[in-house]
Structure 1
Amino acid sequence: MKSKDVQNIVFRKYQDSDTPSKIFRDLNGCLGLTTIKRWCKMIRDNGTIELSPPSGRPRLSRTSKVIQKVKHKLTQNKVSVRGLANEIGVSTSSVHRILKEDRQLHADKTVIEPKLTGEQKNKRKQFANWIFNHFRKEDTMRFLFSDEKMFDADGIYNAQNQRSGAASRTEANE
């Protein structure tokens, strides 16, 4: 539905005996010419602009009140989508839609990077310099470098469960 302010402008300009095309030019393409003509016809016939209610099913769970609840819960603490849905009393797909479409957030996995000691950093630099000085680029294209896998003895960390909602990757890292 069009804004009431735009409706009031069209109504006032039509009452000041402006033509629909002049109203269209004054609004700078903010509204279509056919819409302005239809509204002018409504003003001529009824004296007001009465628009019909929007078609389609009304929103039941993605209301502004529920969106504010989701926003408030997210600022309080980190919760899962399923937990958030249970707290608020809506479906998980509705919470997903609120986070993606209304809040422009997406789930990012928490990335854990191992902390390197100064000795490890020096060894890596020495190795890189040794490769650079002793091999040609064509030779290094045949090498396969791998890194060690981090194993956790107590099994607490799980990358699938450690997610955070953020608008960008840098925000998620913070």
Structure 2
Amino acid sequence: MFDVDGIYNSQNQRIWAASSDEANEKGGIKMKQKFPKKVMVWLGVCSKGVTHLVIFDQGTLDHKVYIQNVLPVTLECGSKIFGEHWIFQQDGAKPQVHHLTQKWCQDKFPSFIDKDHWPSNSPDLNPLDYSIWDEFARAINWKTVISKTTLIKELKRAVKEIRQDVILQSCSSWTIRLQRVLKNDGCYLNK
């Protein structure tokens, strides 16, 4: 989810100052809208790069929208890049585990890790969560984002700026994490 207020995580970004005026001078006071305009985005990643960006600017994402708008992009990109020899993996979000989504994936993808064979919501096994989203968000020129329209325009531009070396490092890390999870009998990793 991206909104027009940009990236700011109060838990990770702190300014130490003697007063609020001094904090503001150092960029420590961030104004946020009560209900900022936002969009949801979907992006796939593999060692060869990223898929086409899919942007949802209206409503929420359910299994019907996911099947109609995301899965065909995934199938097209995966087949174009890898031909008939690749495996599709999801992270276990509600639209992804719906029985119709699972059937679509089983019927269409050359190989697919279904919901019963993938650790749901595993932070250790999702390369998008631990590096690609950060790279993508940092590529956005937040100064140009003033509306939903400019946010979407900037998202489309910034996705092309995701560096290939970051993608390769993320995928390499994913392979190592997968091996460690297998050694740990499918349990979360201890850092």
Q: TM-score w.r.t. structure 2 length?
A: 0.18
TM norm structure 1: 0.19
